[in-house]
């Protein structure tokens, strides 16, 4: 018998439970899946989210793997009681959701449809001829699973696409850049910048006043990655001056975003409530089941987190 503890939220338990149980059965795994075990030493696997009821992991001395239900792990790797191997959530449901959000908002910025949405009654803005995709450069900061899914789709749609990552990568569908020189090139050339980086000490405030000043005047930003990737004060200043024309922001340092935050009052900012890529039970459960199956079979576990890099 494999003892698996659900250490996520009560709401998500009701969504995940049937898919997890069905998945374990299909995989031929004899699993006792619960929301509580009397003895933590009996638990073999933790299905974990930072917003769940569990914060102290020190008692789970026999746990073989902590499987996160979140794509981002910055709120977990900083937990000093975490000594067990940790796997992040990478699944096609997350990738598809993020792709849809990014593509929809890239097109919104590219076509400048907000101008029509906010036009006065009877205002016929026929002089605003939309550009062609090939005339717009979209830069992606972050080329992990989510970044690649989005960038490949944007490139397929005909946009001039640039990608940047800390380490060198090669992708057939668009130009990849890396390192500080590569970052400066993306900032300089992109009309739209999409941030999909993990949050680490190296990426926090990556888009600060200096970086924003190096972007094209009138460029726009889409951030569905992590709130602290952006220096909020610097972005607000850049939005007011016109250095940045508009921003679509889905993630924030404090969530929910406080009602008195300046972003709410800015006509060139669209705030969305962290909905770009939610974990979907049906697809995420498949990843959980597969990783437990792999661990039990002695096979390499998918998406293990490198504690040194933080992702």
* Residue 226 annotated as catalytic: yes
Q: Which of 26, 115, 255, 307 is catalytic?
A: 255
Query: Which segments of 69-168 does DSSP mark as H helices, in order?
Result: 74-77, 92-111, 113-117, 145-156
Tally: H helices and E strands in the chain: 9, 12
Q: How many angstroms separate the Cα of 103 from the Cα of each of 60, 85, 224?
A: 42, 34, 12
Q: Which of 34, 92, 261, 274 is catalytic?
A: 274
Q: Are 84 and 300 in contact (CB under 8 A)?
A: no
Give the C-alpha separation, 216 to 188, whole Å. 6
Give the C-alpha separation, 14 to 9, whole Å. 9
Q: Which of 88, 99, 166, 226 is catalytic?
A: 226
Residue 215: half-sphere exposure toward Cβ, Cα within 13 Å: 29
Burial of 120 (C-beta count, 10 Å sphere; 0-12/13-18/19+) = exposed
Give the C-alpha separation, 94 to 150, whole Å. 11
Nearest to residue 97, comparing CAs of 280, 270, 284?
280
* Residue 74 annotated as catalytic: no
Give the C-alpha separation, 54 to 70, whole Å. 15
* Residue 255 annotated as catalytic: yes
φ/ψ of 68, rounded to 5, equals: -75, 145
Which active-site residues does the annotation give? Answer: 226, 255, 274
């Amino acid at each position: 018998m494999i003892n698996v503890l659900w250490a996520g939220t009560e709401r998500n338990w009701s969504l995940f439970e049937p898919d997890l149980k069905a998945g374990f059965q299909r995989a031929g795994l004899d699993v006792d899946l619960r929301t509580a075990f009397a003895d933590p030493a009996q638990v073999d696997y933790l299905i974990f989210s930072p917003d769940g009821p569990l914060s102290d992991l020190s008692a789970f001395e026999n746990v073989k793997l902590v499987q996160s239900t979140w794509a981002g792990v910055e709120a977990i790797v900083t937990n000093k009681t975490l000594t067990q191997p940790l796997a992040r959530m990478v699944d096609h449901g997350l990738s598809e959701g993020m792709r849809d959000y990014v593509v929809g908002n890239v097109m919104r910025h590219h076509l400048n449809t907000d101008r029509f949405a906010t036009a006065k009654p009877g205002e016929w803005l026929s002089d605003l001829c939309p550009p062609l995709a090939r005339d717009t450069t979209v830069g992606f900061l972050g080329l992990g699973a989510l970044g690649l899914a989005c960038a490949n789709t944007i490139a397929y749609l005909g946009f001039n696409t640039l990608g940047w990552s800390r380490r060198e990568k090669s992708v057939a569908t668009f130009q990849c850049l890396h390192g500080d020189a590569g970052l400066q090139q993306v900032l300089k050339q992109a009309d739209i910048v999409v941030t999909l980086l993990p949050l680490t000490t190296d990426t926090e405030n990556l888009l600060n006043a200096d970086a924003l000043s190096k972007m094209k005047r009138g460029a726009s930003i889409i951030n569905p990655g992590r709130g602290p990737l952006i220096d909020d004060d610097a972005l607000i200043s850049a939005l007011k001056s016109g250095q940045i024309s508009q921003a679509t922001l889905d993630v924030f340092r404090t969530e929910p975003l406080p009602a008195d935050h300046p972003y709410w009052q800015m006509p060139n900012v669209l705030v969305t409530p962290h909905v770009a890529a939610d974990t979907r039970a049906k697809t995420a459960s498949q990843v959980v089941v597969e990783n437990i199956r792999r661990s039990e079979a002695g096979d390499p576990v998918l998406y293990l987190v490198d504690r040194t890099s933080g992702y």
